[in-house]
Copies of this chain bind each other. A is one copy, B any other.
C-alpha cells in the first residue's frame, strides 16, 4: 500500500517532462491527481504557460502546473516516474533519493533493460517498479506535446535479479490512477519477460532504422532487411531464453505482422539520431547483450548491430552543438 495525499490520492513526480513524461503527467493532473513536473530546458516556459497536449483523443491545456528545475524544491512523492532518456540516467543518483517517499515507489518508464537494477542501488529494491510504454508522442515546442497514437503501459514489480514479482496491491493502485486518466494498463507478473518481449521489436527496428537510415515500412518492404529483422528477433528470443524467459517463435511473426500494418514509423532512436541527441544504445542494445553474454549466450548479430550503433552515435555526437 502506498501512502496518499490528504485528499486520499497518490502524489506523482515526473522526472523528465518531455514527449512521454509530459504526456502521462498531464493526463494524470487533468483527472485531478497532484503532479509535480521536473523540467530543464523548458522550465521557464512551462512555469509561465503550463502544458499543451494535442491528441487524437482530444486536445487539452493545463495553464498551471507544478514546475521545478531543481529536484530539491520538489515535495517527496508517492510515485516518482522516471521519464528521462536513459542517456541522462547518470543524473538519477542526485535526483531520486530526495523526491521519493520512504514508502513510495520509483516507476521507471524507460526503454531497454537493466535500469531498475541501477535505480534499486539508489533507493533500495523495494521501491522500484518498471513500466513499458507503447506510445507515439512528440514534443513539438516547449511545453507543447503532440500525442499521435497508442498510450498503454505494461507495469511490473522489480525484484532483485529480476525475479518475477507477481501482482501487488501497489501495482493495482497505480493502474487505477492511470486508468482514471484513460490510460490502459497491463499488469505483468514478470517484468524481465515483458522487457525482453518489448526488445523483440525495439532492437531490430530501432537499431536498423539508424544504421540504414530507414523507416519501419522500408525495412519491411525489402526482403534482405525483412529477414535480417527476423534473425535479430530470433537472437532476442535466444537472449530471453538464456535468462530463463521463454518467448514463443510465433511472437516474432506477430511482431512482423503488427509492424507491417503500422503507419510508416520513424523509431525513437532514429529521431534521436536525426536530432543529433545521444542514442539509447546501452539501455536498448548493450545491456541485453551483456545480460545474455553473462548467461553464456552469444548474440553475434545483435553484437554487430551494437558496434555499428556505438560508432554512429560517437560520430553523430561530434556534431552536437548543444
Contacts and interface: CB of A to CB of B under 8 A. Distances in A.
Contacts of A315: 212-214, 218
A308 B315 CA distance: 19
Contacts of A227: 307
Contacts of A301: 300-301, 304
Interface residues of A, number: 25
Contacts of A310: 222, 224
List the number of copies, as a whole number.
Answer: 2
A224 B180 CA distance: 47
A135 interface: no
B211 A307 contact: no
B312 A212 contact: yes
A28 to B, nearest CB: 40
A20 to B, nearest CB: 28
A308 B222 contact: no
Interface string A213-228: 1100011001011011
A134 interface: no
Contacts of A228: 304, 307-308
Interface string A196-224: 00000000000010011110001100101
Which 7 A/B pairs are nearest by Cβ-Cβ distance? Answer: A224-B307, A224-B310, A228-B307, A225-B311, A222-B311, A224-B311, A300-B300
Given A211-B308, A218-B315, 13 more contacts: A208-B308, A212-B312, A212-B315, A213-B315, A214-B311, A222-B314, A224-B307, A224-B308, A228-B304, A228-B308, A301-B301, A301-B304, A304-B305
17 contacts: A211-B212, A211-B308, A212-B308, A212-B312, A213-B315, A214-B311, A214-B315, A218-B315, A219-B311, A222-B314, A224-B306, A227-B307, A228-B304, A228-B308, A301-B301, A301-B304, A304-B305
